[in-house]
A and B are shown apart, each in its own frame.
Chain A
Amino acid sequence: MSDVDYVELRLHPEERLRLIEENVEDYAIFVIDMQGRIASWNRGAERILGYSEQEAIGLHCRELFTPEDRARGAVEIERTIADETGRAVDERWHLRKDGSRFWGNGIMTALKDERGGLRGHVKILRDETLRKQAQDALVREQEKRIEQESRNAVLQERNRIAQEIHDTLAQSLTAIHLHLEALRDLLRQEDEPIHKMLDKVQELVRNGLTETRRSVQALRPQLLEANSLTGAFFRMAEEIRSGASMEVRCVVHGEAIPLPPNVEDQLLRIGQEAVTNVLRHADATELELILRFEPETFTLEIRDNGQGFEPQPPWRGFGLIGIQERAKSIGGQTTLISAPGKGTRITVTAPLDGRGGRSEEPTGLLPDENMRKG
C-alpha cells in the first residue's frame, strides 16, 4: 500500500470502517440495536450465516440461536454479560438461514457513546465447525479409551480375585474332601454314627466347593467379554474340537460387525445351548457353526450330521424352548430342521438392531420333507 492510500484512508475514518466491514470475509461482523434487531451485516456474515444483507437487516438476533439456546435464555444472558462487563464470549452452535448449524466462536461487545450510554452491540464471530468437530472427536476418542481402560481394569481385577479363590480356598476345600475320602476307608464298617457324621461333613465341603466354583465362574470374564461375537464362536468351536472326536467348523459370511450387547449375548447363549444338545444327544461326527452377517439381519446356523429326531411339538427337553424364547427376545425367528438319521439344523435369524417388529409371529419349526426322503 502506498503512502498516499494510507493517508487517504486515515483521512476518512467512516469510509475506512465501512471498507473493513464490507471486505472482511472470514469474520461475520454485525451490529445489533437496542431492540436486538440486526442493524448492519457484512460480507463475512452473509457468507457464514447465509442471509443476504437485505434479509438480515431488521431480523431479531435470536433467529441466529439454536432453539435449545433460546429456550435456556442464552440470547439475554449474552447481552447482559456484554452490558455489565463490556464483552461476552460467544462460543456456541448457531443457526444458518437454511437451518443448518455451525460452531461460532466470537465476541459480543457493548457499543457505548462518549457519555457511556449504551447504543447497541457489535458481534464478531467466525465459523470454527471443523476445529470443533475435530476437538469433539478427540474428546470422544479419549472418553472411549478411558472407558475401555477402566473396563479392562475391572476385568483384570475380577480375574485376579477369581484366580485367588481358585488357587487358595478351592484347593483347601479339595484337600479336605480328599482327606475325608481317605478317612472313610480307615473307619470300620460298624462305625455307623461316624459314617453318618462323615457324610454330613463331606456334603458341607461339597457345598463349599460348589459355591466357590460359582464365585470363580461369576468373576471370570465370560466368552463375550473377552471376545467379539465371532471370536467367541471361534473359541467355542476350538473348545469342542479339542474335547470331542468331532469335525468342527466355524464359518463367517459377510462383514462381521458388532451387534447390540444383549443381542450378542443371546446369540452366544443360543449357540451354547444348541452345541450342548449336539454333544449330549446327536452322536454326530461333524458340526458346523455358521454366522451370516447381512445388511439387515444376522443369522446363526448350527448343523450336525448326527442321529436327528422327529421334530414334533412341543419340543420339550432338548432346550429348544429356551432357544426359541431367547430368539424371540431379540426379535429373531427360529427354524429347526431335523429327521431321524438325517442330522439337525437350527437357524436363528435376528434383525441387526435387536428390535425387530415381528417377534410376535410364530416361529417356524418344521420337519424337513426333503431331508426325510433323503
Chain B
Amino acid sequence: MLVADCHHLIREGLANLLSYEPDMQVVGDASSGPEAMDLFREHRPDIALMDLRMTGESAVDAIRTLIREFPDARILVLATFPEDQEIMPALRAGAKDCLLKDMPRGEMVAAIRTAYAGQRLHYYQQMRRGPSA
C-alpha cells in the first residue's frame, strides 16, 4: 500500500494502524501529489490511500493522472470531514472510495479490503446515509 498525506504524523499513524494487519504492508509514504505519483509508478501498490489535500493542493489532478496511466489503480481518498468539498471531484477523477481519517480502525481496514476486492464507493455511501448525511 501507498500512503500519501502531507502531515507526517498522520502518515505515521496510518502506517502504524495498518502494520497490525498481517496481509497489509505499506511500501511507500508520500507527502505531496507529485511524490505520490512517483512512488505509485515505482511500487505499483495494490491500494493507495491519498489525502484529499496535500500541502494546500487538491489531490484530484494526481488521481486523474494516475488513473489515466493505471486504469486499474485502486486509489482511496482520505477525507477529514464528510462534507469536505474535494470528495466529489476526487471520486469523479477515479478514486474508488472515500474514507474518513478518524474512522474506527476496524472499519478502515474493512473498507480497504472491500475496495481491494473491487467494490466501489462502499464506505462513501454508508457515510452519506449515516447520521452525518
A interface, CB within 8 angstroms of B = 166-167, 170-172, 174-175, 177-179, 181-182, 185, 206, 209, 213, 216-217, 220, 238-239, 242-245, 276, 279-280
Instruction: Please name all residues of chain A whose beta carbon is closer than 8 Å to the beta carbon of B121 when the two chains form the complex.
Output: 243, 245
Within the complex, what minimum Cβ distance (angstroms) separates B26 from chain A?
Answer: 13
1/0 per residue, CB under 8 A from A, across B49-87: the answer is 000010010000000000000000000000011011100
Known: A175-B10, A217-B83, A279-B129. A243 touches B124 (CB 8 A): yes
> How many angstroms between the C-alpha atoms of A175 and B14 in the bound complex?
9
Residues B81 and A242 in contact, CB atoms below 8 Å apart: no
Residues A243 and B88 in contact, CB atoms below 8 Å apart: yes
Out of B91, B101, B105, B133, name the residue touching A174 (CB < 8 Å).
Answer: B101
Counting from the closest, the 10 A-B pairs by CB-CB distance are A178-B13, A175-B9, A182-B16, A174-B101, A171-B7, A213-B81, A175-B10, A181-B105, A170-B80, A177-B102
Out of B7, B20, B56, B92, name the residue touching A175 (CB < 8 Å).
Answer: B7
Residues B13 and A181 in contact, CB atoms below 8 Å apart: yes
Residues A182 and B13 in contact, CB atoms below 8 Å apart: yes
Instruction: Please name all residues of chain B whose beta carbon is closer than 8 Å to the beta carbon of A171 when the two chains form the complex.
Output: 7, 9-10, 80
Enumerate B75-133 residues with CB–CB distance to A below 8 Å.
80-81, 83-85, 88, 91-92, 101-102, 104-105, 121, 124-125, 128-129, 133
B interface, CB within 8 angstroms of A = 7, 9-10, 12-14, 16-17, 20, 53, 56, 80-81, 83-85, 88, 91-92, 101-102, 104-105, 121, 124-125, 128-129, 133
A-B contact count (CB 8 A): 79
Would you give 23 A-B contacts (Cβ < 8 Å), ordered by A? A166-B53, A171-B7, A172-B7, A175-B7, A175-B10, A178-B9, A178-B13, A178-B14, A178-B17, A178-B102, A181-B13, A181-B104, A182-B17, A185-B20, A213-B80, A213-B83, A216-B81, A239-B88, A243-B91, A243-B124, A279-B128, A279-B129, A279-B133
Within the complex, what minimum Cβ distance (angstroms) separates A220 from chain B?
Answer: 8
> How many angstroms between the C-alpha atoms of A167 and B124 in the bound complex?
21
> How many angstroms between the C-alpha atoms of A179 and B91 in the bound complex?
27
Instruction: Please name all residues of chain A whose beta carbon is closer than 8 Å to the beta carbon of B124 when the two chains form the complex.
Output: 243
Within the complex, what minimum Cβ distance (angstroms) separates A227 from chain B?
Answer: 13
Instruction: Please name all residues of chain B whose beta carbon is closer than 8 Å to the beta carbon of A243 when the two chains form the complex.
Output: 88, 91, 121, 124-125, 128
Residues A280 and B81 in contact, CB atoms below 8 Å apart: no
Instruction: Please name all residues of chain B whose beta carbon is closer than 8 Å to the beta carbon of A170 when the two chains form the complex.
Output: 80-81
> How many angstroms between the C-alpha atoms of A93 and B118 in the bound complex?
76
Instruction: Please name all residues of chain A whose beta carbon is closer than 8 Å to the beta carbon of B125 when the two chains form the complex.
Output: 243-244
Instruction: Please name all residues of chain B whose beta carbon is closer than 8 Å to the beta carbon of A245 when the two chains form the complex.
Output: 121
Within the complex, what minimum Cβ distance (angstroms) separates A285 from chain B?
Answer: 14
Instruction: Please name all residues of chain A whose beta carbon is closer than 8 Å to the beta carbon of B84 when the two chains form the complex.
Output: 166
Known: A182-B17, A243-B91. A172 touches B128 (CB 8 A): no
Known: A166-B80, A185-B20, A216-B81. A178 touches B129 (CB 8 A): no
Within the complex, what minimum Cβ distance (angstroms) separates B5 from chain A?
Answer: 8
Which of A175, A206, A220, A276 lies at the interface centre, i.e. has the most chain B CB atoms within 10 A of its CB?
A175
> How many angstroms between the C-alpha atoms of A217 and B20 in the bound complex?
34
Out of A179, A213, A242, name the residue touching B9 (CB < 8 Å).
Answer: A179
Instruction: Please name all residues of chain A whose beta carbon is closer than 8 Å to the beta carbon of B10 when the two chains form the complex.
Output: 171, 174-175, 178
> How many angstroms between the C-alpha atoms of A301 and B42 in the bound complex?
52
Residue of A nearest to B84 (CB): A166
Within the complex, what minimum Cβ distance (angstroms) separates B93 from chain A?
Answer: 11
> How many angstroms between the C-alpha atoms of A172 and B5 in the bound complex?
12
Instruction: Please name all residues of chain B whose beta carbon is closer than 8 Å to the beta carbon of A209 when the two chains form the complex.
Output: 102
Instruction: Please name all residues of chain A whose beta carbon is closer than 8 Å to the beta carbon of B102 when the two chains form the complex.
Output: 174, 177-178, 206, 209
Residue of A nearest to B19 (CB): A182
Instruction: Please name all residues of chain B whose beta carbon is closer than 8 Å to the beta carbon of A179 when the two chains form the complex.
Output: 9, 12-13, 16
Instruction: Please name all residues of chain B whose beta carbon is closer than 8 Å to the beta carbon of A280 when the two chains form the complex.
Output: 129, 133
> How many angstroms between the C-alpha atoms of A220 and B133 in the bound complex?
17
Within the complex, what minimum Cβ distance (angstroms) separates A155 from chain B?
Answer: 14
> How many angstroms between the C-alpha atoms of A7 and B10 in the bound complex?
101
Instruction: Please name all residues of chain B whose beta carbon is closer than 8 Å to the beta carbon of A172 when the two chains form the complex.
Output: 7, 9
Which of A170, A181, A220 lies at the interface centre, i.e. has the most chain B CB atoms within 10 A of its CB?
A181
Instruction: Please name all residues of chain A whose beta carbon is closer than 8 Å to the beta carbon of B7 when the two chains form the complex.
Output: 171-172, 174-175
Instruction: Please name all residues of chain A whose beta carbon is closer than 8 Å to the beta carbon of B53 when the two chains form the complex.
Output: 166-167
